[in-house]
């Protein structure tokens, strides 16, 4: 029997678990959970990964992330580092917030995928008010899965998972609802430890291969914004801030570049400046219709 193909990290779907250190509550109030989801949305735009489900409890968070070719460590470092800065400033504290870095487990087959999705969405049943109605818990994607509410943060690609529960969305939601209360820690543990051969997930899922170059990106942004490529290395040109900002976002997203790589391309600018340019670029994409599809446009041109 042929050996099962090893899933590379950039190809993987991950179960991410983030926990706070013992003496600290990760999310003190609803606004903190909203901020965490907004940060996921921000980095989803930067790295073009996919979220298949989430549930934020008071002292931990569960995420199901399809890396889609991105470096999952960079994704989670960006989200958790930004949240820790927000949290420490808000609550006037110093030091670590998260226990370790984060736990990530590769979801490598259909059974695990389905069981994990149900397990994550079962979490709110531990809260008295949601024991019988976990779909009403706002900081879980279950209500989105079942069609009880729209996606307030425009985060979840639930169709991929729901395709494994029924031939159409109506039957899938009915099957999903009937199974949600049956999936607990014990069931998930059994699924993880089950060693026999199981079906890998197959679908229209395609991984974005991030083999683009900084040269491609500079060329694309220069054409998009009608400027000369040589201007990207002019340090103090305010006129070109937006162009450099878009280039930073694209290099982070599609080249998996570190700050040091981007610095070398743009003329040895500081890490702090790269962070500011990244925020400017994200704001530009979010607020300006001309740039809202810029990542997809680039991929179409250069893939």
Count CB-CB contacts under 10 A for residue 196. 4
Measure Cα distances from 265 to 53, 243, 247, 257, 260 in Å: 36, 14, 10, 10, 9
The tens place of each residue's pLDDT in the chain, 303 residues long, gives: 444 444 456 678 999 999 999 889 999 999 999 999 999 999 999 899 999 999 999 999 999 999 999 999 989 999 999 999 999 999 999 989 998 778 888 998 888 899 999 999 999 999 999 999 999 999 999 999 999 999 999 999 999 999 999 999 999 999 999 888 887 666 666 655 554 445 565 556 788 888 899 999 999 999 998 888 877 766 666 668 889 999 999 999 898 888 889 998 888 788 888 989 999 999 999 888 999 899 999 999 987
18 alpha carbon, distance to own chain's centre: 13
- At 22 the pLDDT is 86
- At 200 the pLDDT is 62
Global model pTM greater than 0.75 = yes
With 0-12 CB in 10 A as exposed, 13-18 as middle and 19+ as buried, what is 131?
Answer: exposed
- At 4 the pLDDT is 46
Residue 56 contacts residue 27 (beta carbons within 8 Å): yes
């Amino acid at each position: 029997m042929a050996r099962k193909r090893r899933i590379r990290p950039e190809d993987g779907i991950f179960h991410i678990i983030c926990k706070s250190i013992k003496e600290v509550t990760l999310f003190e109030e609803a606004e903190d959970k909203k901020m965490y989801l907004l940060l996921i949305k921000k980095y989803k735009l930067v790295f073009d990964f996919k979220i298949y489900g989430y549930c934020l409890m008071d002292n931990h968070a569960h995420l199901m992330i399809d890396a889609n070719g991105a470096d999952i460590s960079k994704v989670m470092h960006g989200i958790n580092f930004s949240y820790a800065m927000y949290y420490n400033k808000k609550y006037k504290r110093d030091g670590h917030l998260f226990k370790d870095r984060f736990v990530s487990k590769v979801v490598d087959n259909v059974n695990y995928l389905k069981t994990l999705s149900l397990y994550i969405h079962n979490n709110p049943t531990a809260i008295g008010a949601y024991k019988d109605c976990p779909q009403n818990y706002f900081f879980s994607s279950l209500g989105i899965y079942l069609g009880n509410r729209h996606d307030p943060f425009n985060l979840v690609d639930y169709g991929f998972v729901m395709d494994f529960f029924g031939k159409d969305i109506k039957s899938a939601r009915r099957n999903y609802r009937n199974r949600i209360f049956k999936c607990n820690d014990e069931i998930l543990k059994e699924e993880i430890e089950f060693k026999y051969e199981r079906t890998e997930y197959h679908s229209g899922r395609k991984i974005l291969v991030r083999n683009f170059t900084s040269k491609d990106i500079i060329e694309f942004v220069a054409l998009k914004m009608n400027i000369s490529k040589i201007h990207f290395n002019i340090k103090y040109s305010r006129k070109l801030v937006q162009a450099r900002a878009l280039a930073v976002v694209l290099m982070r997203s599609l080249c998996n570049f570190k700050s040091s790589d981007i610095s070398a391309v743009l003329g040895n600018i500081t890490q702090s400046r790269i962070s500011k340019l990244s925020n400017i670029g994200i704001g530009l994409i979010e607020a300006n219709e001309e740039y809202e599809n810029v990542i997809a446009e680039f991929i179409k041109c250069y893939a």
